[in-house]
Amino acid sequence: KLSPWIAPSILAADFARLGEEAAAVLAAGADVIHFDVMDNHYVPNLTIGPMVCKALRDFGIEAPIDVHLMVSPVDDLIRSFAEAGASYITFHPDASRHVDRSLQLIKDLGCKAGLVLNPAVPPDGLEYVLDKLDMILLMSVNPGFGGQRFIPSTLRKVAAVRQLIDDSGHQIRLQVDGGINEQNIADIAAAGADTFVAGSAIYGRPDYRAVIDSMREALAA
């Protein structure tokens, strides 16, 4: 099993001070920056694009940037984000006409690739592209907004996908996104996740280190 990663979602950060906000969670012990991209088409909200990813790199953010595409179509933005310094690029399979081709595009551009499944999407299609996946992201809320409540049925899907990954023998991160906090992170880890996105739970509090520390304690317990 891979070492646990805490991935703060900068969707919940102060966008007027984004560079400092990204640096602050990394200084507080975060492993990776989760970067939520919304297009007002695939999801009913609009956020940030490749220029902002590039700006974080230029600001001096060296940690992995995990770009979660909630956009459709995906291929043009995959190219732009690879150029803008993305490390991981994940997208929703129903947002691309040719999922395998989009995954291959991410790999060809030198980034790590992942698929994202919404709460009601079964894990079935994953098995045919496991060899192209570096990450599988299971949404534990409906995408589009931060600050929503964790959907409990996600835990069963986490366990099922954990089994799929283990049986495959591939090294694939299993990430969960939406409504994660210090209280439920241990249950999500017990189900088999190793990468935990948290937006409001971290940025909604004044002391980022205190939250990240207590998440790590919950994971270690």
Q: Using CB under 6 A as the criterion, which residues of the chain lie in contact with ligand DX5 when the complex forms?
A: 9, 11-12, 34, 36, 68, 141, 143-148, 177-180, 197-201
Which does residue 200 touch among ligand DX5, Zn ion, none (CB within 5 to 8 A, set by kind)?
A: ligand DX5
Active site residue 131: no
Q: Is 32 helix (H, G, I), strand (E, B) or coil?
A: coil
| CB nearer ligand DX5, residue 60 or residue 216 | 216
The CB-side HSE value for 105 (13 A sphere, CA atoms) comes to 19
Helix axes 75-83, 99-108, angle to 10 degrees: 10
The H or E element containing residue 189 is helix 185-191
Q: Which two tokens stand for residue 169?
A: 């023998």
Query: Does the protein bind Zn ion through residue 36 (CB under 5 A)?
Result: yes
Which does residue 179 touch among Zn ion, ligand DX5, none (CB within 5 to 8 A, set by kind)?
A: ligand DX5
200 annotated ligand-binding residue: yes
Judge contact between 74 and 96, C-beta under 8 A: yes
DSSP state of 37: E
192 annotated ligand-binding residue: no
34 annotated ligand-binding residue: yes
Query: Does the protein bind Zn ion through residue 182 (CB under 5 A)?
Result: no
| CB nearer ligand DX5, residue 94 or residue 145 | 145
Which does residue 80 touch among Zn ion, ligand DX5, none (CB within 5 to 8 A, set by kind)?
A: none
Which does residue 69 touch among ligand DX5, Zn ion, none (CB within 5 to 8 A, set by kind)?
A: none
Q: Please identify which of the residues 39, 66, 177, 194 carries the catalytic annotation.
A: 177
Q: Which of 160, 220, 189, 123 is nearest to 198 (CA)?
A: 189
* Nearest-angstrom CA–CA distance, 115 and 91: 5
Active site residue 166: no
Give how many residues touch Zn ion by CB under 5 A: 3
87 annotated ligand-binding residue: no
The residue number with the shortest CB distance to ligand DX5 is 199
Q: Please identify which of the residues 36, 39, 134, 194 carries the catalytic annotation.
A: 36
Computed on alpha carbons and rounded to an integer, the radius of gyration of the chain in Å comes to 16
- Nearest distance, CB of residue 128 and ligand DX5, angstroms: 25
Judge contact between 75 and 98, C-beta under 8 A: no
* Nearest-angstrom CA–CA distance, 42 and 182: 30
170 annotated ligand-binding residue: no
DSSP 115-126: EEE-TT--SGGG
What residue numbers does the annotated binding site for a divalent metal cation cover? 34, 36, 68, 177
The residues assigned a catalytic role are: 36, 177
- Residues making contact with Zn ion (CB under 5 A): 36, 68, 177
